[in-house]
Amino acid sequence: MAAKKLTFEQSMSRLEEIVDLLEKGDAPLEQAMALFEEGAKLLRECTAKLDQAEQKVTLLTVDQDGQEHETDFQGE
C-alpha cells in the first residue's frame, strides 16, 4: 500500500512532532532512528516543494522580454 502524500503544511507539522519527540530523548534507540529517518525524508520533501515554489515564482516574474525581475513580496 502506497503512503499518502502529505501537503507541505502536514509535512512541516509532522517534522515538528518528530523534532519534539527526539528532543525529549525518551524514545528507544530503534524508534529514535526510525523517527530520524522519517524526519530526514520529510525535510528532503519539504525542501523540494520549496524549490519548486521558488521556480514557479521566478517563472511568474519574467517580463515579456524574458528579463527576470526580483522584487520584494508586497503582502496585503
Summarize pLDDT for 59-74 with one digit per residue, the tens. Answer: 667 677 877 766 655 5
The identity of residue 21, as a single letter, is L
User: Is residue 76 a part of any domain in this protein?
Assistant: no
Q: In this structure, is residue 21 part of a structural domain?
A: yes
**Domain range holding 31?**
10-59
**pLDDT for 2:** 46
Confidence (pLDDT) at 5: 85
This prediction has a pTM of 0.69
Angle CA 27–10–12, to nearest 5: 65
Q: Is 2 a member of any domain? A: no
Report the distance separating Cα 42 and Cα 14, nearest Å: 8
pLDDT per 10-residue tile (average), the chain, 76 residues: 77 96 95 97 94 76 72 54
